[in-house]
Amino acid sequence: MNRTAPFAILALMLVASCGAAPGNRTMVEGAGPDELLKLRAGPGLGYRVVLGLPDGTDLIRRDCVTEIGQLWCQVSLGSLPGITGYVSADYLSVK
């Protein structure tokens, strides 16, 4: 079984946004058609993966920090602001 399948299914259920919240709106871009951007528990590759996010996922960007030369932004899901984590800023696009 594909290890990303459960993440993809949950992420696709969460893609639809349902209202604006404070913060900068952004979306996942550049992960690719068959890949998911990993939403992590902290700013870096060493943190556990919370969820996989497909391109087009609506996010609310919070603060960003640099860890080992990489910019990581804390984000929450646009449709479920209670789900938060960190993603590489390289995969965020202004909405």
pTM of the predicted model as reported, rounded to 2 decimal places:
0.75
Instruction: Compute, in degrees rounded to 10, the torsion defined by CA atoms 71, 77, 78, 80.
Output: -160
Those residues whose C-beta lies under 8 Å from the C-beta of residue 56, and which sit 6 or more positions away, are 15, 27, 28, 29
Beta partners for residue 51, in sequence order: 39
pLDDT digits (tens, 9 = 90+) for 57-85: 999 999 999 999 999 999 999 999 999 99
Instruction: Go through the domains of the chain in sequence order and give each one's CATH number.
Output: 5-94 (2.30.30.40)
pLDDT digits (tens, 9 = 90+) for 19-57: 333 469 999 999 998 999 999 999 999 999 999 999 999
